[in-house]
Chain A
């Protein structure tokens, strides 16, 4: 394959991946999925009933993996059946995945709220009706982007994995990145805006989540507005960077050109990892310098 086309496909994959990461994170934020869900789940027990959408399908990797695989299986089998354009099958597959995701999200919401009846958490139907379409839209976008990446990779980057299997891998990866990167701002900042900025959430405040929005009572949509400013974009950057950097090694240093080129790719990868470690060290030092320590006692030194 022409390296120039490879780079072009790679750029497209990166761009689509950025959208996929962004929508994936916002989808999980609207439904309070993944790790911050523990706080939303805890809140009624601590006498803080809320109007958030409590959607615990599973961890993000598995639910996104399922959505991507359902979309991919429907798309691929439709392709077997009829001679449709790829865009059409991707849209139909993503619709199927979206419907499955909606049913799973709705039943999770009902189930979790019904299982908290002793804490007197009401089941608000208007929350359900306003938040579910947002979840569905984001789920559709994420699945469609994952499928586009799958088809691009299968067609141009010469990966001989069937598309559903590729969708499983990419779906789990995007979910795993979304749950590690994007949820930090949601869990530590968005749910706890009532605590002062610049500190982790004290374990004593667990469950004391913010329940008021700028106007009215907070629901998942207000949370997605908050997270769309930082958590979503960082997730998008992370997923795009992962796909771009991992494919870049094999496109620019294509091992098919000879063993030595493959070793060059290895060296380039090691250099990139060293660069991220250095950047992390710089970030750590600058944060410590600018924020300063929380307390000044020297007594704990050496006590360990």
Chain B
């Protein structure tokens, strides 16, 4: 019992399947729900091929933020053990696999693309995490679960970004998303949003709520860029009012999120920092002892 507690790092969670932990459940459910809420409007016509661009892309934006928070939480859990190569590497591994899976599932061209992508990401993440952990002798507890979470979160985030930018998850939207090069932002932007928060808060006094607030800030910044790109791109192509409404709402929503998250992050910094001073000399000997 004690061994199991130590191995999981947290006694409360040792009985649950990792997808039923609170963060994982929230990330998975709201990620998928966000994407499908955004897609609902495009399924009102009879066949999938006739679906139109969604005006509800902000729902996919919320899903993207939830998915990124989930993946960033997994990065935080895995990086505590010390990977030997820095925090970003695990994010880049996750995003590499996630990019392949997301592009694949978008080109399946069905309504179920996000679900298939999630399932594939979970399976491939578990398999590759298990392989790395056992074959390369990393011996990090629960590495396969954490890698599966990172991979799935990144996959959901990339698929949401396709919905935000291109309106649907048809293969035509995937084609435009890639040919315009916005996939590059989906690749590196999601990766940085996933690992930046923990990397930026690294240290002995790292606090969970502060890291999470920074993740929300990073994800909202990314959402703002996606929405701005979608607005310019769609408006330039005269694609109808619904996409412009969607992008505009997403832009305003992400700006609100950015300011809120920044304000909360700053209050957490004020709470946690030893001393915030406008200017001053270095602390003297008596302060340090």
Q: Which of B21-29, B149-157, B197-205 is near enough to bind chain A?
A: B197-205
A56, B199: Cβ atoms closer than 8 Å: yes
User: Which residues of B in the span 26-54 have a Cβ within 8 Å of any Cβ on A?
Assistant: none
Count A-B pairs with CB separation below 8 Å. Answer: 191
User: Which residues of B in the span 265-289 have a Cβ within 8 Å of any Cβ on A?
Assistant: 265-266, 268-269, 272-283, 287-288
> Is residue A111 within 8 Å, beta carbon to beta carbon, of the partner chain?
yes
> Is residue B196 within 8 Å, beta carbon to beta carbon, of the partner chain?
yes
The residues of B that contact A165 with a CB separation of less than 8 Å are 181, 183-184
Q: Which of B5-13, B59-67, B186-194 is near enough to bind chain A?
A: B186-194
Q: State the main secondary structure of chain B at its contact with A.
A: helix
The residues of A that contact B88 with a CB separation of less than 8 Å are 58-59, 62
Q: State the main secondary structure of chain A at its contact with B.
A: helix
B282, A112: Cβ atoms closer than 8 Å: no
A112, B189: Cβ atoms closer than 8 Å: no
A162, B181: Cβ atoms closer than 8 Å: yes
Q: Which of A78-86, A135-143, A289-297 is near enough to bind chain B?
A: A78-86
A49, B288: Cβ atoms closer than 8 Å: yes
Complex Cα distance, B233 from A103, in Å, reads 25
> Is residue A134 within 8 Å, beta carbon to beta carbon, of the partner chain?
no
Number of A residues, CB within 8 Å of B:
57
Chain A: which residue is nearest B226 at the CB level?
A: A73
Q: How far is the CB of B259 from chain A (nearest CB, A)?
A: 11
A115, B282: Cβ atoms closer than 8 Å: no
Contact of A69 among B189, B204, B233, B288 (CB under 8 A): B189
> Is residue A32 within 8 Å, beta carbon to beta carbon, of the partner chain?
no
Q: How far is the CB of B202 from chain A (nearest CB, A)?
A: 6
B279, A73: Cβ atoms closer than 8 Å: no
The residues of B that contact A125 with a CB separation of less than 8 Å are 276-279
- With contacts A56-B202, A108-B200, A124-B279 taken as known, whether A114 is within 8 angstroms of B233 at the C-beta atoms is no
Chain B: which residue is nearest A55 at the CB level?
A: B200
Contact of A116 among B203, B214, B266 (CB under 8 A): B203
Chain A: which residue is nearest B275 at the CB level?
A: A122
> Is residue A16 within 8 Å, beta carbon to beta carbon, of the partner chain?
no
A59, B86: Cβ atoms closer than 8 Å: yes
The residues of A that contact B237 with a CB separation of less than 8 Å are 80
A126, B225: Cβ atoms closer than 8 Å: no
Chain B: which residue is nearest A83 at the CB level?
A: B236
> Is residue A121 within 8 Å, beta carbon to beta carbon, of the partner chain?
yes
A62, B204: Cβ atoms closer than 8 Å: no
Contact of B184 among A47, A72, A104 (CB under 8 A): A72
B202, A49: Cβ atoms closer than 8 Å: no
A111, B210: Cβ atoms closer than 8 Å: yes
The residues of A that contact B184 with a CB separation of less than 8 Å are 69, 72-73, 162, 164-165, 167-168
Contact of B200 among A49, A56, A82 (CB under 8 A): A56
> Is residue B256 within 8 Å, beta carbon to beta carbon, of the partner chain?
no
> Is residue B92 within 8 Å, beta carbon to beta carbon, of the partner chain?
yes
A115, B288: Cβ atoms closer than 8 Å: no
> Is residue B144 within 8 Å, beta carbon to beta carbon, of the partner chain?
no
B202, A164: Cβ atoms closer than 8 Å: no
Q: How far is the CB of A11 from chain B (nearest CB, A)?
A: 26
Contact of B274 among A66, A107, A121 (CB under 8 A): A121
Interface centre among A124, A163, A166 (most CB of B within 10 A): A124
Chain A: which residue is nearest B195 at the CB level?
A: A58
Q: How far is the CB of A20 from chain B (nearest CB, A)?
A: 17
B280, A122: Cβ atoms closer than 8 Å: yes
A46-68 Cβ-contact flags toward B at 8 Å (1 or 0)? 01011100001111001101100
The residues of A that contact B182 with a CB separation of less than 8 Å are 73, 164
B160-198 Cβ-contact flags toward A at 8 Å (1 or 0)? 000000000000000000011111110111011001110
Residues of A near any B CB (own CB < 8 A): 41, 47, 49-51, 56-59, 62-63, 65-66, 69-70, 72-74, 76-78, 80-82, 96, 100, 103-104, 107-108, 110-126, 161-168, 211, 217
6 contacts between A and B (CB under 8 A): A70-B189, A104-B218, A107-B265, A111-B269, A114-B201, A164-B180
User: 8 shortest A-B CB distances, which residue pairs?
Assistant: A115-B203, A162-B181, A164-B181, A80-B236, A77-B232, A108-B200, A81-B236, A81-B232
Residues of B near any A CB (own CB < 8 A): 86-88, 92, 179-185, 187-189, 191-192, 195-197, 199-207, 210-211, 214, 217-218, 221, 225, 228-233, 235-237, 262, 265-266, 268-269, 272-283, 287-288
